[in-house]
Amino acid sequence: MNSGWKAEIAAVFGKELRSELRSRSGLTTAGLFGIVTVFTIAFASMNTKLDGNIAAGLLWVAVLFSSIVSLPRTFVTEEEQGTGDLLRQWARPHAVYWGKALFNLAQLGAMSLILSFLYLGFTGLDLKIAWLYWLTLFAGCAALAGAVTLTGAIVARAANRSSLAGAIAVPILLPIMAAGVAGMRAAFGSGFAESGAMSALGLVGYAVATFAIGPWLFAAIWKS
């Protein structure tokens, strides 16, 4: 049974990966956005020293936006291609949610890694507390992936998907970003370390919650 779930989730994940690698529209768009964003920020803050507060905020804006740009596509594409019914016939909702969420997580993780390196490279900030930085980043990505997969499913069948996605995803995700910013500030050495750690833990909790509750909510909208 358990292994059954694993196999199904893996199957969905693999399918997403394969189609994304063959037509990279999702990755391209996100990567495109990320790179240009980092460049813009770097350019804007060229001859001004970034302090940790702003830096954290900027980085999270980049991560949040690029997640929103690329992730809803996972379900929007299904509906626009008309392949949604195939998945509905073949797969159990939980497997679909987990498979897609994990794929989104992988995609987002990869992207935020690239973003981080570019960003840290460009702005020449130094990490006071490296582990806190990475913990926050990845917990944040997990929370984002879980939540955005759900929002993607919610908007997929709406006529005005693109703007609806932004409108509902951003406010839902802002708390994640807030916690993320708090964590990063601490990691950049401004703000209290322990409070930073707290918010990182908060992120972990939120991520767990989304991945636990998400499938149930998803099941409800997926079959209607």
**x/- letters, 163..202, toward its own copies (CB under 8 A):** xxxxx-xxx-xx--xx--x---x-----------------
Query: Hey, how many other C-beta atoms are within 10 angstroms of the C-beta on 137?
Result: 24
Q: What is the number of other CB atoms lying within 10 angstroms of the CB of residue 30?
A: 25
Is residue 116 a contact partner of residue 137, using CB atoms and an 8 Å limit?
yes
Burial class (CB in 10 A: 0-12, 13-18, 19+), 71: buried
CB-CB contact of 193 with 130 (8 Å): no
Site for another protein in 191-210 (CB under 8 A): 191-192, 195-196, 198-199, 206, 209
User: Which range binds its own copies by CB under 8 A, 7-15, 20-28, 202-210, 211-219?
Assistant: 20-28
Name which of 105 and 156 has its Cβ closer to another protein. Answer: 156
Please state the closest distance from residue 129 (CB atom) to its own copies, in A: 17
What is the C-alpha end-to-end distance of the chain, expressed in Å? 26
**Of 72, 98, 64, which is closest to residue 173 (Cα–Cα)?**
64
Of the listed pieces 2-10, 23-31, 87-95, 129-137, which binds its own copies according to CB under 8 A? Answer: 23-31
- Closest approach, Cβ 83 to another protein, in A, equals 5
Q: Is 159 in the site for its own copies (CB under 8 A)?
A: yes
Note whether 125 and 50 are within 8 A (CB).
Answer: yes
| Residue 162 binds another protein, judged by CB under 8 A | no
Find the shortest distance in angstroms from Cβ 138 to another protein: 20
Q: Is the CB of 8 or the CB of 133 nearer to its own copies?
A: 133
Selection from another protein, its own copies, none that 217 binds (CB < 5 to 8 A by kind) is another protein
Q: Binding of another protein at residue 217 (CB under 8 A)?
A: yes
Per DSSP, helices labelled H in 52-158 are 52-70, 73-81, 84-90, 93-123, 130-155
